[in-house]
Amino acid sequence: MKITGIHHISLVVSDIERARAFYGSTIQLREVVRPPFDFAGAWYALGPQQLHLIEDKHGSRQNDEIKTRGRHVAFYVENVDQVIEFLQQRDIPYLDKKFSISGFHQIFMNDPDGNTIEFMSEID
């Protein structure tokens, strides 16, 4: 077996329209065509990879704590300072780990369902 990359990451959300507003409008990901499955969801392009949202009305709501060691999805970004400005303009709480031992500048935040999202770039 030879794994050649990651195609997509899936997150469970409790309200697909609220999640669409967050991922599409708030953090401005580009939604792409999704097959007509018999359950609600949305797909977003992340370069050659994708983010798939799957609605589960019963939800798997995480708490509001921003967890850097739990389940999360990480996105490379060109400029972490622009991410901070972007989040501050929208009053989105975040955790800044500028000099992480990982070797990356990391910004962590939660989506409306408590899924943790990391934005990262090389430390300058």
CATH of the domain at 117: 3.10.180.10
Q: What is the pTM of this model?
A: 0.80
Q: What is the mean pLDDT of residues 68-93?
A: 87
Give the span between the Cα atoms of 39 and 55, in whole angstroms.
7
Identify whether 60 is part of a domain: no
Count structural domains, the chain.
2
What letter represents residue 40's amino acid?
Answer: A
pLDDT at residue 59 is higher than 80 = no
- Which structural domain range is residue 99 located in? 72-122
Residue scoring higher pLDDT (100 or 113): 113
pLDDT at residue 15 is higher than 70 = yes
- Pull the structure tokens for residue 37: 């499955």
